[in-house]
Amino acid sequence: MGSNSFGRLFRITTWGESHGKAIGVVIDGCPAGLAISVCEINEALAMRAPARNAFTSPRSEPDSADILSGVFDGKTTGAPICILIANQDADPSKYEPIQNLLRPGHANFTYLEKYGIFDYRGGGRSSARETACRVAAGAVAKKILQREGIEITAYIKQIGSIKAMVQEEDFMRLRSATRQSPIFCPDLMAAKEMMNAIEFAKSKGDSLGGVVEFIANQVPIGLGDPVYCKLEALLAYAMMGLPASKGFEIGCGFAAVEMHGSEHNDGFIKVSGRVETQTNHAGGTLGGISTGMPIVARVAFKPTSSISIPQKTVSTEGDDAIFQLPNGSRHDPCVAIRAVPVVEAMAALVLVDALLMNARAKI
């Protein structure tokens, strides 16, 4: 199985399965001398961890990272950084009764067809458990971005049909309100409606989908490499590689089709001697290169595939069957919630890689 790595210069490789002994990530290309601690990585992992509240999976994983290499005396050495995260609450027994059934909405059918084998324990390699590795790597990437003054925040924009009203201008207030919300939604009224909707779907044994929006501030002009490595293309590639992601848009995105060119075009102005755009319908890029305006984009996540409602399926032998999750199964009623810190991490990984590519291009 290939394609377990991401990035060009700042490159990560993740490994491990949902119910194996551990998961982890190797980061290659991190500059030397970066101050980083395991506490900072664990703080990021805590945002993604399950069992935070009733709106996430009850699987109790503390997600405590262990840095095995690449950091000495609290600073990166330039060598590969290996981070291990032990699986402490794995329970593969719940999956044994359904191991020979094709799970609707899951990858065991395609994995079996492609590889002839599938780790049925919680989805194995295809499980969203792998995203903890991305968050750990993202914590390192964010430290590099912070040195450049670049900040990223992600939040729930929509769950089901309920949309949040978000004031994007006050970045620090937006981040604070997001962190205080049980579901990472900065709009208190919308968050309450969303939580009620999630609880209702959960009570029916069902699930909901959602949209995660992210903003990257103080991104310098010039990131992105046309023609095939446009910044928005790299972001789309990163986000569409996330489990359960089904769509990506930047700026006005699909809403742009309802606008005239005279509405969508961002006029140029000069502010304090610096060229900016008066609006930001493009979402921070032109021609695949960052404009210096905030990068604003969204990722759509499907409803959680693991639901307790009985579903029609077939066995691995092709016989008709009814799929029913075993009692005690542990799943998120809305995967978009725990995707928020993962989206942040992936955005950070793309921007760090683009920064390093830019630096190399200017040598």
| pLDDT tens column, 34-53 | 999 999 999 999 999 876 77
Buried b (16+ CB within 10 A) or exposed e, 31-59: eeebebebebbbebbebbbbeeeebbbeb
CATH of the domain at 148: 3.60.150.10
What is the arithmetic mean of pLDDT over 75-80?
Answer: 98
pLDDT, position 53: 73
pLDDT, position 324: 92
Asked whether the predicted pLDDT for residue 361 surpasses 70, the reply is: no
Predicted model pTM: 0.95
pLDDT, position 362: 62
pLDDT in tens, 320-338: 999 998 887 778 999 999 9
Asked whether the predicted pLDDT for residue 169 surpasses 60, the reply is: yes
Asked whether the predicted pLDDT for residue 363 surpasses 70, the reply is: no
pLDDT, position 95: 85
pLDDT, position 217: 97
pLDDT, position 59: 67
Least confident of 43-47, 62-66, 289-293: 62-66
pLDDT, position 51: 61
pLDDT, position 223: 98
pLDDT tier for residue 90 given thresholds of 50, 70 and 90? confident
pLDDT in tens, 187-231: 999 999 999 999 999 999 999 999 999 999 999 999 999 999 999
Structurally, the chain folds into a number of domains equal to 1
Q: Distance (Å, rounded) from C-alpha 213 to C-alpha 215?
A: 7
280-285 contacts at long range (C-beta below 8 A, 24 or more positions apart): 280/251, 281/251, 281/252, 281/256, 282/250, 282/251, 282/252, 283/232, 283/250, 283/251, 283/252, 283/253, 284/216, 284/219, 284/250, 284/251, 285/224, 285/230, 285/231, 285/232, 285/250, 285/251
Q: Chain-wide mean pLDDT for the chain?
A: 94
Asked whether the predicted pLDDT for residue 288 surpasses 90, the reply is: yes
Asked whether the predicted pLDDT for residue 143 surpasses 90, the reply is: yes
User: Are residues 94 and 306 in contact, defined by beta-carbon separation less than 8 angstroms?
Assistant: no
**Full domain range(s) for residue 263:** 5-361
